[in-house]
Structure 1
Amino acid sequence: MRKLIGEQVARSGGWLPFDRYMALALYAPGLGYYANASRKFGTMPGSGSDFVTAPEMSPLFGRMLAVQVREALEQTGTHEVWEFGAGSGALAVELLETLGERVRRYTIVELSANLRARQQQALAAFGPRVTWADQLPETIEGVVVGNEVLDAMPVKLLARRNGAWHERGVALRDGRLAWSEVPTHLVPPVVPAGTGDYVTEVHHQAEAFMRTLAERLVAGAAFFIDYGFPEAEYYHPQRSMGTVMCHRGHLADADPLDAPGEKDITAHVNFTGIAVAAQEAGLPTLGYASQGRFLVNCGIGEAMAALPVQDQVAAQRLIADHEMGELFKVIGFQRGAFWDAIGFRTGDRTHTL
């Protein structure tokens, strides 16, 4: 991986933009973090995993999302589910088991051949109802879901120094990867107050993805779950170090240049940018809420009450404000007439976007 990145730096004149570096570190065939054979998902470091996502934490996450997906299928008159970046396949299992024959086909859009193989093993019992694709089709009819997908899309890094904006990229110094900045015309969508040093991200690829999805979703709805903020919070003057983080062995660090290909690299989501990109392409927002509120609206409280205490404790992490309940958000979009979606009936924060 280091050899590949070094070659790309050289081909780019000695400076590689961070979004291209992040794409290589995560997705380079056979070498990138999501393309290699290392285990990613698991509940404990001893398993050799790097992090846990909500579907592995508790099956109630998928079952509650299924409540919203079922309603969306009914409201839009569609019969298919599309999942982007299905990870371990745990979410797909719960959605398929909960929704049953209401879903005629379940398509997973997955770029990683390694993860696709793991998903195929996890979902073998569902037979030909589950299919895979490695790119967006020209048209989509159905309900789209994506859990922790947007945060893994490469971002550009911007740095304000002495009042002037620079783009941060990667160079080689004495054979080692190092930060390097060049002047740029790019600025954040909301320029943080003041002139002090400031590092942040812009999400061109995630927003381009939303525009493409909006153009191709001809009937249905879409729901994305991820960690992030609306624009005003994302570019707050006090958030001066940006949000890029790495995950390895269930530990977090802020150095994406260390051990590329061996750990996850993520950035928080600017949900305002996601909503605006979709809306400008003709896909309006159905709702936006914290994960905790969304799951409570879908009935997780009643479902938890029927579980053993140990399973209740695991499920509680999905909704507790100091765990995943507040940092993670759910944003929904609809093609066609608006309806009062169950997941956003109380606590909808669309007005904050």
Structure 2
Amino acid sequence: MSGLSAPAAEAQAHSAHLREVIQEHIIAAGGGIPFWKFMELALYAPGLGYYSAGAHKFGPGGDFTTAPERSPLFSACVATALGAVLRQLDAGAVLFELGGGSGAFAEACLLQLQADDALPARYAILEPSADLRQRQRQRLQQRLPAALLARVEWLDGPIQEPWNGVLFANEVIDALPVPRFSMRAGEVMEEFVALDGEGRFVRREQPADPLLAAAVRHVEQQLPEPFAEGYRSELLAQLPYWIQAVAGGMQRGAMVFIDYGYARGEYYLPERGDGTLRAFRQHHVTGDVFAWPGLQDITASVDFTALAEAGVGAGFAFSGYCSQASFLLGNGLQTHLLGLEAQATDEVALHNLRQQAKALTLPSEMGERFQAIGFQRGVDLEPAFALGDLSHRL
């Protein structure tokens, strides 16, 4: 991680506090906690975790840049896809965003939906971080007309009462606390986090519980050969329950998820024998997920086959699966780009817009590394995935 500076003294103190909290959890649990619990604490411990504390995370000054921060083109194209579903629903439809980030998506999406005459009655954001909620609120208050702002609300959990609408999540599933498994003498083991003699975090293995073991065997049956001795990876066995939970009481509507990851056959390739787990800090990636808890993002790629299974298992019909590039191009990227170019004031602005479009779609950038997947119930979302369908890979 050359070029990565050490955290400031205040940040180091913050990280040390969270490290102590995690150490206390490990001791209280008898010497070890599942890796997913470590990840949950590192990311979401109240007031201390990476996503629940106040550090700047998004954009050039943060640790990573998501597509909505890269360009409003992303949000405009997603709005086109979601708006087509909202127009199929009644006047009380809800657009439900999981994890609002900086608020950039909500801002651009609402403006595009207004232009397309496809506004939802409510735009609900589920954001667990109080700090991010405040940042989202400030951004939208400053940049949205009052009539649009009045439709926005923040929720503490999924919508439990019956509702119709669309659910959207960009780079959310990769941040769900994920179990890690390994294979030892043909048995499925689960990775735990323990402490060495000096209080440092170390890996430890113990037999996996029945849920994780069964999920690993389910995956293994779909692969050309069994997992090799010592193979280590991630598997979000709770994903079906998570999908059911976030859909809540949805009666009619659609769900769209965009994230980085692979179809199952590629996710669990033999050469990917240490999984996809990694951490981000200051736009640098590292495999040391134990370093600086609370100051770095921890993430694992998404198994899109597992996501497809979970969505269908929750009672939704599968709508489609494609690369982010295909999804954006199939939902009006060229039209939206031309519209923004017409508003550009000089050649620099034109150049920037075209660079944004390239960043979102080029294979070497976000275009192929990120994929989109959709589900529907009582509506038709399939046209959003008409270009570049990759469902045969699932």
- Give the TM-score band, short-chain normalised: over 0.9
Aligned to 1:346: 387
Aligned to 1:170: 193
2:362 to 320, 331, 334: 320
C-alpha distance in structure 1 between counterparts of 2:77 and 2:134, whole Å: 26
Per-residue displacement from partner, 1:211-257 (whole Å, max 9, x unpaired)? Answer: 22345211211111001111121112221110111111000111111
Unpaired segments ≥5 residues, structure 2: 1-17, 342-349
Per-residue displacement from partner, 1:88-122 (whole Å, max 9, x unpaired)? Answer: 00000011111126222100011110100001001
The alignment yields a C-alpha RMSD, in angstroms, of 1.7
- Cα offset for 1:351? 2.9
8 Å CA contact retained: 1:153, 1:205: no
What SS does the aligned partner of 2:87 have? helix
8 Å CA contact retained: 2:167, 2:247: no
Aligned to 1:37: 54
8 Å CA contact retained: 1:81, 1:107: yes
8 Å CA contact retained: 2:254, 2:381: no
1:64-213 equivalences under 5 Å are 64-77=77-90, 79-100=93-114, 102-124=119-141, 125=144, 126-139=148-161, 140-174=163-197, 175-184=199-208, 186=213, 188=216, 189-191=218-220, 193=225, 195-213=228-246
Letter in 2 for 1:190: V
8 Å CA contact retained: 2:240, 2:314: no
1:323-338 equivalences under 5 Å are 323-337=365-379
1:263-274 equivalences under 5 Å are 263-274=296-307
C-alpha distance in structure 1 between counterparts of 2:110 and 2:381, whole Å: 24
Letter in 2 for 1:133: L
C-alpha distance in structure 1 between counterparts of 2:392 and 2:123, whole Å: 32
* Mean Cα deviation higher: 118-127 or 237-246: 118-127
Tell which structure's C-alpha radius of gyration is larger. Answer: 2
Unpaired segments ≥5 residues, structure 1: none
Relative to 1, partners in 2 of residues 1:2 and 1:204: Cα closer, same or farther, differing over 3 Å?
same
TM-score (normalizing by structure 1)? 0.94
Aligned to 1:12: 29
Letter in 1 for 2:180: L
What SS does the aligned partner of 1:123 have? helix
> Sequence identity, in percent?
40
- Cα offset for 1:271? 1.2
What SS does the aligned partner of 1:204 have? coil
C-alpha distance in structure 1 between counterparts of 2:47 and 2:326, whole Å: 39
- Cα offset for 1:305? 4.3
Letter in 2 for 1:178: V
C-alpha distance in structure 2 between counterparts of 1:206 and 1:244, whole Å: 17
Per-residue displacement from partner, 1:175-233 (whole Å, max 9, x unpaired)? Answer: 11111111225152322635332111111343321122345211211111001111121
C-alpha distance in structure 1 between counterparts of 2:381 and 2:42, whole Å: 41
C-alpha distance in structure 1 between counterparts of 2:89 and 2:256, whole Å: 14
C-alpha distance in structure 1 between counterparts of 2:106 and 2:330, whole Å: 21
C-alpha distance in structure 2 between counterparts of 1:270 and 1:223, whole Å: 15
What SS does the aligned partner of 1:346 have? coil
2:250 to 217, 220, 237: 217
Per-residue displacement from partner, 1:287-322 (whole Å, max 9, x unpaired)? Answer: 111100011101213433453122211221111111
C-alpha distance in structure 2 between counterparts of 1:135 and 1:314, whole Å: 33
Letter in 2 for 1:150: I
C-alpha distance in structure 1 between counterparts of 2:319 and 2:134, whole Å: 34
Aligned to 2:270: 237
TM-score (normalizing by structure 2)? 0.84
1:290 aligns with 2:323: yes
* Mean Cα deviation higher: 340-349 or 152-161: 340-349
Q: Number of paired residues?
A: 348
C-alpha distance in structure 2 between counterparts of 1:274 and 1:298, whole Å: 22
* Mean Cα deviation higher: 30-39 or 231-240: 231-240
C-alpha distance in structure 1 between counterparts of 2:314 and 2:57, whole Å: 34
1:255-270 equivalences under 5 Å are 255-270=288-303
